[in-house]
Structure 1
Amino acid sequence: MQQKLKGVPETLLIPLWARATETQSSSPIVKDYKAVEMMKNIDYDFSKFDNTWLSQIGVAVRTELLDNSTKTFIHKYPNAVIINIGCGLDTRFFRLDNDKIKWYDLDLPEPIRIRKQFFAETERYKMIAKSVFDYSWINEINISNEPVLIIAEGILMYFTEDEIKSLFNEIIKAFPGAEVLFEMMTPTVAKMSKHHDTASKLGVKFNWGIKSGKQMESYNSKIKFIEEWNYFDYHRDRWHWMRLPSLIPAFKNRFNDRIVHLKLC
Protein backbone atom coordinates (compact mmCIF):
# COMPACT_ATOMS: atom_id res chain seq x y z
CA MET A 1 0.00 0.00 0.00
CA GLN A 2 1.57 3.25 -1.12
CA GLN A 3 1.53 6.23 1.22
CA LYS A 4 1.05 9.86 0.17
CA LEU A 5 2.27 11.64 3.27
CA LYS A 6 4.48 14.72 3.24
CA GLY A 7 5.74 17.07 5.93
CA VAL A 8 4.50 16.64 9.50
CA PRO A 9 1.97 13.86 8.62
CA GLU A 10 4.88 11.81 7.24
CA THR A 11 6.42 11.76 10.71
CA LEU A 12 3.81 9.21 11.78
CA LEU A 13 5.93 6.62 9.96
CA ILE A 14 8.85 7.23 12.36
CA PRO A 15 7.21 5.74 15.48
CA LEU A 16 5.71 2.93 13.40
CA TRP A 17 9.19 2.04 12.17
CA ALA A 18 10.65 2.42 15.66
CA ARG A 19 8.08 0.17 17.34
CA ALA A 20 8.37 -2.47 14.63
CA THR A 21 12.16 -2.41 14.76
CA GLU A 22 12.14 -2.54 18.56
CA THR A 23 9.74 -5.48 18.52
CA GLN A 24 12.16 -7.46 16.34
CA SER A 25 15.23 -6.67 18.47
CA SER A 26 16.84 -9.20 20.78
CA SER A 27 15.60 -7.59 24.01
CA PRO A 28 12.68 -5.31 23.13
CA ILE A 29 11.41 -2.63 25.49
CA VAL A 30 7.98 -2.85 23.84
CA LYS A 31 6.37 -5.48 21.64
CA ASP A 32 4.06 -4.28 18.89
CA TYR A 33 3.51 -7.06 16.39
CA LYS A 34 0.79 -5.10 14.61
CA ALA A 35 3.39 -2.41 13.86
CA VAL A 36 5.58 -5.09 12.26
CA GLU A 37 2.69 -6.19 10.06
CA MET A 38 1.80 -2.63 9.10
CA MET A 39 5.34 -1.67 8.18
CA LYS A 40 5.61 -4.68 5.89
CA ASN A 41 2.43 -3.64 4.09
CA ILE A 42 3.18 0.04 3.59
CA ASP A 43 5.06 1.00 0.43
CA TYR A 44 7.66 3.36 1.89
CA ASP A 45 11.43 3.51 2.05
CA PHE A 46 11.88 2.90 5.76
CA SER A 47 15.62 2.39 5.22
CA LYS A 48 16.04 6.17 5.51
CA PHE A 49 15.64 5.66 9.26
CA ASP A 50 18.44 3.07 9.51
CA ASN A 51 20.94 3.81 12.28
CA THR A 52 18.79 6.52 13.86
CA TRP A 53 19.19 4.92 17.28
CA LEU A 54 18.26 8.05 19.23
CA SER A 55 14.72 8.13 17.83
CA GLN A 56 14.56 4.34 18.17
CA ILE A 57 15.16 4.35 21.92
CA GLY A 58 13.13 7.54 22.41
CA VAL A 59 10.02 6.08 20.80
CA ALA A 60 10.44 2.79 22.67
CA VAL A 61 10.70 4.53 26.04
CA ARG A 62 7.82 6.93 25.38
CA THR A 63 5.64 4.02 24.23
CA GLU A 64 6.38 2.16 27.44
CA LEU A 65 5.72 5.24 29.60
CA LEU A 66 2.45 6.08 27.87
CA ASP A 67 1.32 2.45 27.89
CA ASN A 68 1.96 2.15 31.62
CA SER A 69 0.25 5.46 32.45
CA THR A 70 -2.73 4.65 30.24
CA LYS A 71 -3.05 1.19 31.81
CA THR A 72 -3.05 2.80 35.25
CA PHE A 73 -5.86 5.15 34.19
CA ILE A 74 -7.89 2.30 32.68
CA HIS A 75 -7.40 0.18 35.80
CA LYS A 76 -8.70 3.07 37.92
CA TYR A 77 -11.52 3.92 35.50
CA PRO A 78 -12.53 0.76 33.55
CA ASN A 79 -15.27 2.61 31.65
CA ALA A 80 -13.13 5.58 30.64
CA VAL A 81 -13.22 7.54 27.40
CA ILE A 82 -9.78 7.97 25.83
CA ILE A 83 -9.00 10.47 23.08
CA ASN A 84 -5.76 9.98 21.16
CA ILE A 85 -4.83 13.26 19.44
CA GLY A 86 -2.60 12.97 16.38
CA CYS A 87 -2.84 9.20 16.60
CA GLY A 88 -0.87 8.46 13.44
CA LEU A 89 -0.49 4.69 13.15
CA ASP A 90 -0.57 4.06 16.89
CA THR A 91 -1.86 0.66 18.06
CA ARG A 92 -2.36 1.43 21.76
CA PHE A 93 -6.09 0.75 21.89
CA PHE A 94 -5.64 -2.74 20.51
CA ARG A 95 -2.86 -3.50 22.98
CA LEU A 96 -4.57 -2.12 26.10
CA ASP A 97 -8.31 -2.61 25.48
CA ASN A 98 -10.20 -3.98 28.51
CA ASP A 99 -13.42 -4.60 26.55
CA LYS A 100 -15.09 -1.64 28.29
CA ILE A 101 -13.35 1.61 27.37
CA LYS A 102 -14.38 3.88 24.51
CA TRP A 103 -11.48 5.08 22.37
CA TYR A 104 -11.22 7.82 19.75
CA ASP A 105 -8.25 8.11 17.39
CA LEU A 106 -8.01 11.60 15.87
CA ASP A 107 -5.80 12.66 12.96
CA LEU A 108 -5.82 14.27 9.52
CA PRO A 109 -7.74 12.53 6.71
CA GLU A 110 -4.72 10.90 5.04
CA PRO A 111 -3.38 9.20 8.19
CA ILE A 112 -6.90 8.02 8.99
CA ARG A 113 -7.24 6.66 5.46
CA ILE A 114 -4.13 4.57 6.05
CA ARG A 115 -5.37 3.47 9.49
CA LYS A 116 -8.58 2.17 7.95
CA GLN A 117 -6.54 -0.23 5.84
CA PHE A 118 -5.57 -1.98 9.08
CA PHE A 119 -8.26 -1.24 11.66
CA ALA A 120 -12.06 -1.32 11.69
CA GLU A 121 -14.31 0.87 13.77
CA THR A 122 -16.56 -0.70 16.39
CA GLU A 123 -19.10 0.55 18.89
CA ARG A 124 -16.25 1.36 21.27
CA TYR A 125 -13.49 2.32 18.82
CA LYS A 126 -13.87 5.29 16.46
CA MET A 127 -11.58 7.19 14.08
CA ILE A 128 -12.04 10.91 13.41
CA ALA A 129 -10.48 12.35 10.23
CA LYS A 130 -10.00 16.00 11.19
CA SER A 131 -7.32 18.45 12.19
CA VAL A 132 -6.98 18.77 15.96
CA PHE A 133 -7.61 22.51 15.39
CA ASP A 134 -10.93 21.86 13.69
CA TYR A 135 -12.69 21.81 17.01
CA SER A 136 -15.81 20.28 15.52
CA TRP A 137 -14.13 16.95 16.36
CA ILE A 138 -15.18 17.56 19.96
CA ASN A 139 -18.82 17.13 18.93
CA GLU A 140 -18.04 13.60 17.75
CA ILE A 141 -16.95 12.44 21.20
CA ASN A 142 -19.79 10.52 22.82
CA ILE A 143 -19.47 11.14 26.51
CA SER A 144 -21.77 11.40 29.51
CA ASN A 145 -20.06 11.28 32.90
CA GLU A 146 -17.17 8.95 32.11
CA PRO A 147 -13.63 9.92 33.13
CA VAL A 148 -11.63 11.21 30.14
CA LEU A 149 -7.97 10.72 29.29
CA ILE A 150 -6.42 12.69 26.42
CA ILE A 151 -3.16 11.49 24.88
CA ALA A 152 -0.95 13.65 22.65
CA GLU A 153 2.11 11.69 21.57
CA GLY A 154 4.75 13.05 19.19
CA ILE A 155 2.60 15.93 17.92
CA LEU A 156 2.55 19.08 20.03
CA MET A 157 6.15 20.08 19.31
CA TYR A 158 5.19 20.81 15.68
CA PHE A 159 2.76 23.57 16.69
CA THR A 160 3.28 27.11 17.99
CA GLU A 161 2.75 28.17 21.58
CA ASP A 162 -0.38 30.11 20.59
CA GLU A 163 -1.79 27.01 18.90
CA ILE A 164 -1.05 24.90 21.98
CA LYS A 165 -2.76 27.42 24.25
CA SER A 166 -5.81 27.50 21.96
CA LEU A 167 -6.00 23.71 21.92
CA PHE A 168 -5.82 23.40 25.69
CA ASN A 169 -8.40 26.16 26.18
CA GLU A 170 -10.85 24.25 23.97
CA ILE A 171 -10.11 20.93 25.66
CA ILE A 172 -10.61 22.44 29.10
CA LYS A 173 -14.01 23.80 28.09
CA ALA A 174 -15.11 20.53 26.48
CA PHE A 175 -13.68 18.05 28.99
CA PRO A 176 -13.47 19.55 32.48
CA GLY A 177 -11.91 17.10 34.89
CA ALA A 178 -10.05 15.24 32.16
CA GLU A 179 -6.47 14.06 32.53
CA VAL A 180 -3.83 14.61 29.85
CA LEU A 181 -0.69 12.71 28.92
CA PHE A 182 1.52 14.45 26.38
CA GLU A 183 5.05 14.36 25.10
CA MET A 184 7.00 17.55 25.71
CA MET A 185 10.24 18.69 24.13
CA THR A 186 12.65 21.13 25.76
CA PRO A 187 13.38 24.48 24.07
CA THR A 188 16.98 23.37 23.47
CA VAL A 189 15.92 20.26 21.58
CA ALA A 190 13.15 22.11 19.71
CA LYS A 191 15.76 24.47 18.26
CA MET A 192 17.72 21.51 16.88
CA SER A 193 15.24 20.34 14.19
CA LYS A 194 17.93 20.42 11.50
CA HIS A 195 20.07 18.06 13.55
CA HIS A 196 17.36 15.63 14.69
CA ASP A 197 18.23 12.14 13.45
CA THR A 198 14.84 11.39 11.87
CA ALA A 199 12.84 14.65 11.64
CA SER A 200 15.68 16.23 9.66
CA LYS A 201 15.31 13.52 7.01
CA LEU A 202 11.70 14.61 6.44
CA GLY A 203 12.39 18.35 6.43
CA VAL A 204 10.05 19.14 9.32
CA LYS A 205 10.56 21.75 12.03
CA PHE A 206 9.87 21.72 15.75
CA ASN A 207 8.11 24.88 16.93
CA TRP A 208 7.37 24.41 20.61
CA GLY A 209 9.30 23.44 23.69
CA ILE A 210 8.99 24.04 27.43
CA LYS A 211 11.48 23.64 30.25
CA SER A 212 9.12 21.59 32.41
CA GLY A 213 5.57 20.31 32.37
CA LYS A 214 4.96 22.57 35.37
CA GLN A 215 5.09 25.49 32.90
CA MET A 216 1.72 24.38 31.51
CA GLU A 217 0.01 25.83 34.58
CA SER A 218 0.83 29.31 33.26
CA TYR A 219 -1.20 28.62 30.11
CA ASN A 220 -4.52 28.32 31.92
CA SER A 221 -5.41 28.46 35.63
CA LYS A 222 -7.43 25.24 35.19
CA ILE A 223 -4.35 23.21 34.25
CA LYS A 224 -2.77 21.38 37.17
CA PHE A 225 0.60 19.69 36.78
CA ILE A 226 0.75 16.20 38.32
CA GLU A 227 4.08 14.68 37.30
CA GLU A 228 6.50 14.06 34.44
CA TRP A 229 8.90 11.32 33.39
CA ASN A 230 12.24 12.04 31.71
CA TYR A 231 13.23 9.46 29.09
CA PHE A 232 16.82 9.38 30.33
CA ASP A 233 15.66 7.76 33.57
CA TYR A 234 14.67 4.57 31.76
CA HIS A 235 16.67 1.82 30.08
CA ARG A 236 19.99 3.60 30.62
CA ASP A 237 21.88 0.75 28.95
CA ARG A 238 20.29 1.74 25.63
CA TRP A 239 21.34 5.41 25.55
CA HIS A 240 24.85 4.71 24.20
CA TRP A 241 27.24 7.63 24.70
CA MET A 242 24.46 9.79 26.17
CA ARG A 243 24.18 7.55 29.22
CA LEU A 244 26.96 9.26 31.18
CA PRO A 245 26.17 12.93 30.44
CA SER A 246 22.51 12.20 31.20
CA LEU A 247 23.56 11.73 34.82
CA ILE A 248 24.34 15.45 34.94
CA PRO A 249 21.10 17.30 35.84
CA ALA A 250 21.78 20.26 33.52
CA PHE A 251 22.27 17.95 30.53
CA LYS A 252 19.38 15.67 31.47
CA ASN A 253 16.94 18.56 31.78
CA ARG A 254 17.97 20.27 28.54
CA PHE A 255 18.44 17.42 26.09
CA ASN A 256 15.60 14.95 26.36
CA ASP A 257 11.86 14.67 26.01
CA ARG A 258 9.42 13.82 28.78
CA ILE A 259 5.91 12.53 29.24
CA VAL A 260 3.83 15.03 31.21
CA HIS A 261 0.74 14.19 33.23
CA LEU A 262 -1.83 16.98 33.76
CA LYS A 263 -5.26 17.34 35.35
CA LEU A 264 -7.80 19.78 33.88
CA CYS A 265 -10.00 21.37 36.54
Structure 2
Amino acid sequence: MEKIKIEKNTVQETLIIPLYGRKMCSEKFSALYTDIYAKKLCDRLDYDFSELEKKNNSFLYEFGTLEAAMRQLDIIWEIKEYLKIYPKATIVNLGCGLDETGKACDNGSCSIVNVDFPDVINVRNQLISNHEREKNVACDLKDYSWMNEVDGSNGVVFFAAGVFHYFKREEVKSLVLELSKRYEKGCLIFDSVGKLGLKLMMSKILKNMGIKDVEGLFYVNNTIKELNWSDKIKVTSKGYMLGYYNMKSFNIRSFHRLLARIGDNVMKMKINKLQLIFHIF
Protein backbone atom coordinates (compact mmCIF):
# COMPACT_ATOMS: atom_id res chain seq x y z
CA MET A 1 0.00 0.00 0.00
CA GLU A 2 1.36 3.38 -0.99
CA LYS A 3 2.41 5.66 1.85
CA ILE A 4 1.18 9.24 2.15
CA LYS A 5 3.99 11.77 2.35
CA ILE A 6 3.78 14.42 5.05
CA GLU A 7 6.09 17.41 4.53
CA LYS A 8 7.84 19.26 7.34
CA ASN A 9 6.46 22.62 8.48
CA THR A 10 3.01 22.13 6.98
CA VAL A 11 -0.48 22.09 8.44
CA GLN A 12 -0.51 18.34 7.84
CA GLU A 13 2.55 17.94 10.07
CA THR A 14 0.58 19.31 13.03
CA LEU A 15 -1.57 16.16 12.72
CA ILE A 16 1.41 13.92 13.45
CA ILE A 17 2.23 14.93 17.03
CA PRO A 18 -1.13 13.99 18.62
CA LEU A 19 -1.40 10.90 16.40
CA TYR A 20 2.06 9.67 17.38
CA GLY A 21 1.35 10.54 21.02
CA ARG A 22 -1.74 8.31 20.98
CA LYS A 23 0.31 5.52 19.41
CA MET A 24 3.02 5.77 22.07
CA CYS A 25 0.53 5.97 24.93
CA SER A 26 -1.17 2.82 23.64
CA GLU A 27 2.20 1.07 23.82
CA LYS A 28 3.36 2.48 27.16
CA PHE A 29 0.07 2.50 29.09
CA SER A 30 -1.93 -0.19 27.35
CA ALA A 31 -3.95 -1.09 30.46
CA LEU A 32 -5.28 2.47 30.53
CA TYR A 33 -5.57 3.40 26.90
CA THR A 34 -5.79 1.60 23.58
CA ASP A 35 -6.00 3.33 20.22
CA ILE A 36 -6.34 0.65 17.55
CA TYR A 37 -6.18 3.24 14.77
CA ALA A 38 -3.07 5.24 15.68
CA LYS A 39 -0.40 2.64 14.89
CA LYS A 40 -2.05 1.67 11.60
CA LEU A 41 -2.14 5.32 10.54
CA CYS A 42 1.48 5.97 11.53
CA ASP A 43 2.52 2.96 9.46
CA ARG A 44 0.75 4.49 6.44
CA LEU A 45 2.68 7.78 6.61
CA ASP A 46 5.85 8.70 4.77
CA TYR A 47 7.23 10.91 7.53
CA ASP A 48 10.49 11.14 9.45
CA PHE A 49 9.49 10.11 12.98
CA SER A 50 13.10 10.09 14.21
CA GLU A 51 12.82 13.29 16.26
CA LEU A 52 9.72 12.03 18.02
CA GLU A 53 11.27 8.59 18.54
CA LYS A 54 14.25 10.15 20.33
CA LYS A 55 11.84 11.42 22.97
CA ASN A 56 10.16 8.08 23.59
CA ASN A 57 11.84 7.45 26.93
CA SER A 58 11.78 11.05 28.09
CA PHE A 59 9.77 11.42 31.28
CA LEU A 60 8.13 14.65 30.12
CA TYR A 61 7.31 13.23 26.70
CA GLU A 62 5.73 10.23 28.39
CA PHE A 63 3.60 12.62 30.39
CA GLY A 64 2.66 14.46 27.20
CA THR A 65 1.42 11.26 25.59
CA LEU A 66 -0.46 10.44 28.78
CA GLU A 67 -2.05 13.88 28.70
CA ALA A 68 -3.25 13.39 25.11
CA ALA A 69 -4.66 9.98 25.99
CA MET A 70 -6.52 11.19 29.08
CA ARG A 71 -8.14 13.97 27.06
CA GLN A 72 -9.41 11.45 24.51
CA LEU A 73 -10.62 9.02 27.19
CA ASP A 74 -12.54 11.80 28.94
CA ILE A 75 -14.18 13.00 25.74
CA ILE A 76 -15.12 9.43 24.80
CA TRP A 77 -16.69 8.98 28.24
CA GLU A 78 -18.82 12.13 27.80
CA ILE A 79 -19.89 11.22 24.26
CA LYS A 80 -20.98 7.75 25.35
CA GLU A 81 -22.99 9.25 28.22
CA TYR A 82 -24.77 11.51 25.73
CA LEU A 83 -25.49 8.58 23.41
CA LYS A 84 -27.23 6.76 26.26
CA ILE A 85 -29.94 9.43 26.02
CA TYR A 86 -29.77 10.09 22.27
CA PRO A 87 -28.56 6.82 20.70
CA LYS A 88 -29.24 8.04 17.13
CA ALA A 89 -27.43 11.33 17.63
CA THR A 90 -24.78 12.79 15.34
CA ILE A 91 -21.22 12.91 16.69
CA VAL A 92 -19.33 15.89 15.25
CA ASN A 93 -15.52 15.96 15.46
CA LEU A 94 -14.49 19.61 15.21
CA GLY A 95 -10.96 19.95 13.87
CA CYS A 96 -10.81 16.18 13.42
CA GLY A 97 -7.28 15.84 12.01
CA LEU A 98 -6.53 12.10 11.88
CA ASP A 99 -8.52 11.33 15.01
CA GLU A 100 -11.08 8.50 14.97
CA THR A 101 -12.86 9.16 18.26
CA GLY A 102 -16.18 8.98 16.43
CA LYS A 103 -15.59 5.35 15.51
CA ALA A 104 -14.44 4.60 19.07
CA CYS A 105 -17.84 5.81 20.31
CA ASP A 106 -19.95 4.21 17.57
CA ASN A 107 -22.98 2.43 19.02
CA GLY A 108 -24.25 1.14 15.66
CA SER A 109 -27.01 3.77 15.45
CA CYS A 110 -25.31 7.17 15.62
CA SER A 111 -23.92 9.20 12.72
CA ILE A 112 -20.44 10.75 12.55
CA VAL A 113 -19.33 13.99 10.91
CA ASN A 114 -15.65 14.98 10.77
CA VAL A 115 -14.86 18.63 10.05
CA ASP A 116 -11.49 20.19 9.23
CA PHE A 117 -9.63 22.33 6.68
CA PRO A 118 -9.72 21.07 3.07
CA ASP A 119 -6.01 20.09 3.01
CA VAL A 120 -6.44 18.10 6.24
CA ILE A 121 -9.56 16.35 4.94
CA ASN A 122 -7.64 15.53 1.76
CA VAL A 123 -5.01 13.67 3.82
CA ARG A 124 -7.72 12.05 5.94
CA ASN A 125 -9.57 10.82 2.85
CA GLN A 126 -6.40 9.12 1.63
CA LEU A 127 -5.72 7.40 4.96
CA ILE A 128 -9.04 6.64 6.61
CA SER A 129 -12.11 4.86 5.27
CA ASN A 130 -15.50 6.06 6.43
CA HIS A 131 -18.40 3.73 7.19
CA GLU A 132 -21.91 4.25 5.83
CA ARG A 133 -23.00 6.54 8.69
CA GLU A 134 -19.91 8.75 8.55
CA LYS A 135 -18.87 11.67 6.36
CA ASN A 136 -16.10 14.24 6.16
CA VAL A 137 -16.72 17.95 5.66
CA ALA A 138 -13.92 20.14 4.32
CA CYS A 139 -14.45 23.56 5.86
CA ASP A 140 -12.93 26.14 8.20
CA LEU A 141 -14.76 25.85 11.54
CA LYS A 142 -15.13 29.63 11.53
CA ASP A 143 -17.18 29.37 8.34
CA TYR A 144 -20.46 28.14 9.76
CA SER A 145 -21.61 26.65 6.45
CA TRP A 146 -20.34 23.27 7.75
CA MET A 147 -23.29 23.28 10.13
CA ASN A 148 -25.58 22.72 7.14
CA GLU A 149 -24.07 19.23 6.93
CA VAL A 150 -25.00 18.34 10.51
CA ASP A 151 -28.39 16.83 11.29
CA GLY A 152 -29.28 17.46 14.91
CA SER A 153 -32.86 16.19 14.80
CA ASN A 154 -31.98 13.07 16.82
CA GLY A 155 -29.52 14.87 19.06
CA VAL A 156 -25.99 16.03 18.35
CA VAL A 157 -22.79 16.00 20.38
CA PHE A 158 -19.94 18.19 19.19
CA PHE A 159 -16.41 17.80 20.49
CA ALA A 160 -13.13 19.62 19.96
CA ALA A 161 -9.87 18.13 21.24
CA GLY A 162 -6.87 20.47 21.33
CA VAL A 163 -8.58 22.86 18.89
CA PHE A 164 -9.81 25.96 20.67
CA HIS A 165 -6.33 26.92 21.95
CA TYR A 166 -5.78 28.36 18.47
CA PHE A 167 -8.98 30.42 18.48
CA LYS A 168 -9.55 33.91 19.80
CA ARG A 169 -11.88 34.07 22.79
CA GLU A 170 -14.59 35.85 20.81
CA GLU A 171 -14.36 33.22 18.05
CA VAL A 172 -15.10 30.43 20.51
CA LYS A 173 -17.95 32.40 22.05
CA SER A 174 -19.45 33.14 18.63
CA LEU A 175 -19.27 29.47 17.64
CA VAL A 176 -20.88 28.32 20.88
CA LEU A 177 -23.73 30.82 20.60
CA GLU A 178 -24.37 29.80 17.00
CA LEU A 179 -24.56 26.15 18.04
CA SER A 180 -26.97 27.04 20.84
CA LYS A 181 -29.29 28.70 18.30
CA ARG A 182 -29.29 25.79 15.87
CA TYR A 183 -29.21 22.67 18.05
CA GLU A 184 -31.65 22.54 20.94
CA LYS A 185 -30.72 18.99 21.93
CA GLY A 186 -27.02 19.59 21.47
CA CYS A 187 -23.98 19.23 23.67
CA LEU A 188 -20.46 20.59 23.13
CA ILE A 189 -17.43 18.98 24.78
CA PHE A 190 -13.97 20.54 24.59
CA ASP A 191 -10.74 20.91 26.50
CA SER A 192 -9.22 24.13 27.77
CA VAL A 193 -6.26 25.38 29.77
CA GLY A 194 -5.81 28.47 31.92
CA LYS A 195 -3.72 31.48 30.98
CA LEU A 196 -0.61 30.04 32.65
CA GLY A 197 -1.15 26.70 30.95
CA LEU A 198 -1.52 28.39 27.56
CA LYS A 199 1.77 30.22 27.96
CA LEU A 200 3.77 27.30 29.36
CA MET A 201 2.29 24.41 27.39
CA MET A 202 1.38 25.97 24.08
CA SER A 203 3.96 28.74 23.53
CA LYS A 204 6.40 26.61 21.50
CA ILE A 205 3.69 25.09 19.33
CA LEU A 206 2.11 28.50 18.71
CA LYS A 207 5.49 30.03 17.89
CA ASN A 208 6.18 27.28 15.35
CA MET A 209 2.85 28.13 13.73
CA GLY A 210 3.80 31.81 13.54
CA ILE A 211 1.40 32.87 16.32
CA LYS A 212 3.24 35.28 18.61
CA ASP A 213 0.44 36.95 20.54
CA VAL A 214 -1.19 34.57 23.02
CA GLU A 215 -3.04 37.30 24.89
CA GLY A 216 -6.16 37.16 22.75
CA LEU A 217 -6.20 33.39 22.41
CA PHE A 218 -8.76 31.24 24.18
CA TYR A 219 -8.05 30.15 27.73
CA VAL A 220 -10.26 29.55 30.75
CA ASN A 221 -9.30 30.19 34.37
CA ASN A 222 -12.80 29.96 35.85
CA THR A 223 -15.00 27.68 33.77
CA ILE A 224 -18.43 28.43 35.26
CA LYS A 225 -17.89 32.19 35.28
CA GLU A 226 -16.09 32.64 31.97
CA LEU A 227 -18.21 30.31 29.82
CA ASN A 228 -21.55 31.56 31.08
CA TRP A 229 -22.46 33.06 27.70
CA SER A 230 -26.18 32.32 27.53
CA ASP A 231 -29.08 31.26 29.73
CA LYS A 232 -29.65 28.48 27.15
CA ILE A 233 -26.38 26.82 28.10
CA LYS A 234 -25.54 24.77 31.18
CA VAL A 235 -21.80 24.61 31.88
CA THR A 236 -19.97 21.88 33.80
CA SER A 237 -16.29 20.90 33.84
CA LYS A 238 -13.78 18.45 35.30
CA GLY A 239 -10.02 18.28 35.42
CA TYR A 240 -8.95 16.24 32.45
CA MET A 241 -6.01 14.44 33.98
CA LEU A 242 -7.71 13.17 37.15
CA GLY A 243 -11.32 14.28 36.82
CA TYR A 244 -12.46 11.01 35.25
CA TYR A 245 -9.79 8.42 36.12
CA ASN A 246 -7.53 8.40 39.19
CA MET A 247 -4.70 6.69 37.27
CA LYS A 248 -3.77 4.62 40.34
CA SER A 249 -4.39 1.22 38.81
CA PHE A 250 -2.63 1.53 35.47
CA ASN A 251 1.05 1.21 36.34
CA ILE A 252 1.54 4.95 36.16
CA ARG A 253 4.33 6.47 38.20
CA SER A 254 3.47 8.57 41.25
CA PHE A 255 5.34 11.55 39.79
CA HIS A 256 3.13 11.38 36.71
CA ARG A 257 0.13 11.66 39.02
CA LEU A 258 1.76 14.63 40.75
CA LEU A 259 2.17 16.37 37.38
CA ALA A 260 -1.44 15.45 36.62
CA ARG A 261 -2.61 17.23 39.78
CA ILE A 262 -0.54 20.28 38.84
CA GLY A 263 -2.03 20.18 35.36
CA ASP A 264 -5.61 20.08 36.61
CA ASN A 265 -5.23 22.54 39.49
CA VAL A 266 -2.49 24.98 38.41
CA MET A 267 -2.58 24.85 34.62
CA LYS A 268 -6.40 24.63 34.78
CA MET A 269 -6.55 21.73 32.31
CA LYS A 270 -10.27 21.01 32.01
CA ILE A 271 -12.83 19.11 30.02
CA ASN A 272 -15.83 21.39 29.59
CA LYS A 273 -19.36 20.27 28.76
CA LEU A 274 -21.85 22.82 27.46
CA GLN A 275 -25.36 21.44 27.35
CA LEU A 276 -27.46 23.47 24.95
CA ILE A 277 -30.67 22.66 26.82
CA PHE A 278 -31.16 21.76 30.46
CA HIS A 279 -31.05 17.98 30.35
CA ILE A 280 -29.31 16.12 33.11
CA PHE A 281 -26.89 13.44 31.89
Q: TM-score, normalised by structure 1?
A: 0.86
1:62 aligns with 2:58: no
1:94 aligns with 2:109: no
Equivalent in the alignment of 1:219: 229
- Which residue identity is paired with 1:243? R
Give runs of aligned pairs for residues 156-235 of structure 1, distance below 5 A: 156-193=164-201, 199=205, 202-203=208-209, 205=211, 207-233=217-243, 234-235=246-247
SS of the equivalent of 2:126 reads: coil
Count of paired positions: 260
Deviates further, 229-238 or 97-106: 229-238
1:16 aligns with 2:24: no
Aligned Cα RMSD in Å?
A: 2.6
1:132 aligns with 2:144: no
- Which residue identity is paired with 2:96? C
Give runs of aligned pairs for residues 44-59 of structure 1, distance below 5 A: 44-49=47-52, 50=55, 51=58, 52-59=61-68
- Which residue identity is paired with 1:56? T
Q: TM-score, normalised by structure 2?
A: 0.82
- Which residue identity is paired with 1:215? K
8 A Cα contact 2:93 2:159, kept in partner: yes
SS of the equivalent of 1:231 reads: coil
What are the ranges of 5 or more consecutive residues in structure 2 without an aligned counterpart?
A: none
Instruction: Give, in angstroms, the shift of residue 254 of structure 1.
Output: 2.0
Instruction: Give, in angstroms, the shift of residue 256 of structure 1.
Output: 4.7
8 A Cα contact 1:57 1:238, kept in partner: no
The sequence identity of aligned pairs, in percent, is: 27
What are the ranges of 5 or more consecutive residues in structure 1 without an aligned counterpart?
A: none
- Which residue identity is paired with 1:257? M
Equivalent in the alignment of 1:34: 37
Q: 1:146 aligns with which of 150, 154, 157?
A: 154
Give distance in 1, aligned partners of 2:31 and 2:50: 20
